[in-house]
Amino acid sequence: YGMDTARLFLVSVASPEKDIEWSEKGIEGSLRFINRVFDKKIKFGKSSKKIENKINKSIRDITENIKDFKYNIAVIQLRELFDSIEGEISRKDYESSLKLLAPFCPHIAEELWEKMGKKGFISLEKWPKFDVKKINPELDALDSFILDTIKDIHNISKFVKIKPKKIIISVSEEWKYKAIEKIKKTMEKTYDISTIIKTAMDKQHAKEISKLVPSFIKNPKKLPKLVLTQDKELKELEVNIKKLENEFNLQIEIKKDDLKAMPGKPSILFE
């Protein structure tokens, strides 16, 4: 497999409190990732705001996890970074991504560094710094929204016996976004049910809100980290419709105002 593949696999399963278990599938996964990175055709130009956000967030988080010896988490973030590089990227941003790769795959990183026309060794370069102004939590929330939707579809497909012709993805009713935003903000100050219900109350949806609040108090993890709007979720699904269709090799239909859907958690129907 090569030294970089072995190194990447070992650090991806390394954790100070756990023993390492060798896995043939795991090392093959590391090899596939390295091949994708090495063979990827990079188009240099101007980085989109999404890529700038991902690069700067990755520099911040990977640096912190290396300091804390959380190499396994750093590798996950590194994979996500390189898999997110699509379209144009600035030379500076790509250089930063290679510097993040270097401690885990030093030989491959040096090769890619030289292919860029850089002189000297990447291992002697200064570690990249992140720009906090280019980190946008909303862009992260949109990325997570699509990734979580893909995971949910994969999980559902395990239980579907007949191959469907299409998948219908429906986002939540608009009122839920406003209500949950209010619930989330109030829960940061108090867990008093009556106070939270009163803050989020909407006469038209009083019964539904009265049911939602206790469920969030019981399990706050159900609340999205950042509440998007219905319009933003719809647009993000529409932008990624081809990606979803290629992922599942099925027609994708996008709808809105589904009773069962929640902000950040669209309903999924196989037909």
- 3-state SS track over the chain: CCHHHHHHHHHHCCCCCCCCCCCHHHHHHHHHHHHHHHHCCCEECCCCHHHHHHHHHHHHHHHHHHHCCCHHHHHHHHHHHHHHCCCEECHHHHHHHHHHHCCCCHHHHHHHHHHCCCCCCHHHCCCCCCCHHHCCHHHHHHHHHHHHHHHHHHHHHCCCCCCCCEEEEEEECHHHHHHHHHHHHHHCCCCCHHHHHHHHCCHHHHHHHHHHHHHHHHCHHHCCCCCCCHHHHHHHHHHCHHHHHHHHCCEEEEEEEECCCECCECEEEEC
- pLDDT exceeds cutoff 70 at 16: no
Q: Please give the average per-residue pLDDT across 179-188, as a whole number.
A: 95
Q: What is the pLDDT of residue 223?
A: 92
Share of the chain above pLDDT 90, in %: 79
Q: Please give the average per-residue pLDDT across 93-120, as a whole number.
A: 96
Q: What is the pLDDT of residue 242?
A: 92
Q: What is the pLDDT of residue 15?
A: 66
Q: What is the pLDDT of residue 163?
A: 83
User: pLDDT confidence of 87, banded at 50, 70, 90?
Assistant: confident
Give 250's contacts (C-beta < 8 A, 6+ positions apart): 164, 165, 166, 167
CA–CA dist 80, 229 (Å, integer): 25
Q: 0.85 exceeded by the pTM? A: no
Q: Please give the average per-residue pLDDT across 105-112, as a whole number.
A: 96
User: pLDDT confidence of 17, banded at 50, 70, 90?
Assistant: low
Q: Please give the average per-residue pLDDT across 9-34, as a whole number.
A: 80
Give 148's contacts (C-beta < 8 A, 6+ positions apart): 264, 265
> How does pLDDT run across 55-78, given as a tens digit for each residue?
999 999 999 999 998 898 999 999
> How does pLDDT run across 23-59, given as a tens digit for each residue?
777 889 899 999 999 999 999 999 999 999 999 999 9
User: pLDDT confidence of 244, banded at 50, 70, 90?
Assistant: very high
- pLDDT exceeds cutoff 90 at 162: no
The answer to whether residues 142 and 236 touch, using CB atoms and an 8 Å cutoff, is yes
